[in-house]
A and B are shown apart, each in its own frame.
Chain A
Amino acid sequence: MADEDLRAELAMLGEQYAAALPEKLAHVEQALQGLARDGWDAEGGHPAHALVHRLAGSGATYGFPGVSTAARDLEAFLRDIARPGAVPDSVQRERAAVLLRELRLALPATASRE
């Protein structure tokens, strides 16, 4: 593949990433609802944590540092409250909802926040 094609692909990757952010956030929201309902697994893990971890690690690399920062805050919170087999209490669920709202606000203007 020629350099020009690769550069075009890089630009396209950035656009695709931004466009996919609302969907990724919807997945995080669904996963958090599942966590609130089912609790942490026997090892203290949950897909919600992995999804947020990915956003934290990739956001700034794709040019969206606010996404990384907000996702890192949510990830740190989830790590702090993770307990094998436990279900998050109402205070924890409310805090997670606040951090999710902050993550949504961190989405770039080009991405829909709804």
Chain B
Amino acid sequence: MAAALDDGCVLALTKDGEAALHEPGTTLAPRHLQALVLIDGQASVLQILHRAPQVPGTELRNTLAELVEKNFVSAHASLAIDALDPGDFFSSSVDHPDLGAAGDAADAEAAANAEFLHHNGYCVNLARRPEKPRPPPQGRKPMVLVIDDDPDICRLLRTYLKLEGFDTRAAGNREEILAELRRVPLPDAVLLDVGLPDANGFDILARLRQHPVLKALPIIMLTGEATREAVLRGILGGADGYITKPFEIHPLVRAVKAVLGMATEGGHDWDYSL
């Protein structure tokens, strides 16, 4: 068991932690991904626990400790601000170490990220590889169902996925979704928008996860819902991936390949020749 963390420790993502959230293909368990989403480099362990009241505290503590042990997260001793006299704290001068160019670069990156988040919310490109290899479809290309009511997004995704060796279908409302989920072959993966005219993607995710036949279908949420709460809802709801709009097309294709257990760089795991 990983060593327990102090409640006051401030947690931050390491490079590996950032990669798990932003580069498709992580093998981390959903509970680990959920915990990573909660971490922002400012909140203490106790504050992080409060952000996810639906998760038992002991379980989340253990998960955070495991992430620290595996170097996805770094733990930093907190400054006990509550114990300081605010007057002293804010009026006394302090010497800052000279970080030079690295410090400037970090400042610039932080400013850029803040600006980006201001406009885009919580940006993630997250996709889990399956724990066990998924058998490739026999005698056909893998089928991706794109569920999105924006025809511009559907057209672009379908064309690009075809170029990458997939077959595609699309649905933009409840009726079309039901029709596509009843068609054979069943989709091998689903890209699922949240804001549909007559349906909510999170509800669809929940229904699919309860369905006896479709419950193991790889699903990537592809949505403009970019708040931390929305990302958590997707992960807790059983999504295999979560990508915020606007998205870049290449990472999205890598995410689809990742949730299908396909090679994401340098060639394919599957033989597409029919």
Contacts and interface: CB of A to CB of B under 8 A. Distances in A.
B249 interface: yes
A3 B246 contact: no
A113 B160 CA distance: 29
Given A54-B152, A58-B246, A61-B246, A72 B119 contact: yes
A56 B156 contact: no
B152 A17 contact: yes
Given A6-B163, A53-B224, A68-B246, A58 B150 contact: yes
Q: How large is the interface on A (under 10, 10 to 19, 20 to 34, 35 or more residues)?
A: 20 to 34
B169 to A, nearest CB: 15
Interface residues of B, number: 20
Q: Is the interface of B mostly helix, strand, loop or mixed?
A: helix
B163 A69 contact: no
B155 interface: yes
B153 interface: yes
Contacts of A17: 152
B247 interface: yes
B159 A56 contact: no
B198 interface: no
Contacts of B130: none
A50 B148 CA distance: 13
A58 B153 contact: yes
B156 A61 contact: yes
Interface stretch (A7-15, A32-40, A81-89): A7-15
Contact of B152 (A6, A53, A62, A73): A62
Interface of A: 1, 3, 6-7, 9-10, 13, 17, 50, 53-54, 56-62, 65, 68-69, 72-73
Interface of B: 119-120, 150, 152-153, 155-156, 159-160, 162-163, 195, 197, 223-224, 245-249
Given A3-B163, A13-B159, 18 more contacts: A6-B162, A9-B159, A10-B159, A13-B152, A13-B155, A13-B156, A50-B195, A50-B197, A53-B195, A54-B150, A54-B153, A57-B153, A58-B153, A58-B156, A61-B248, A68-B246, A72-B120, A73-B119
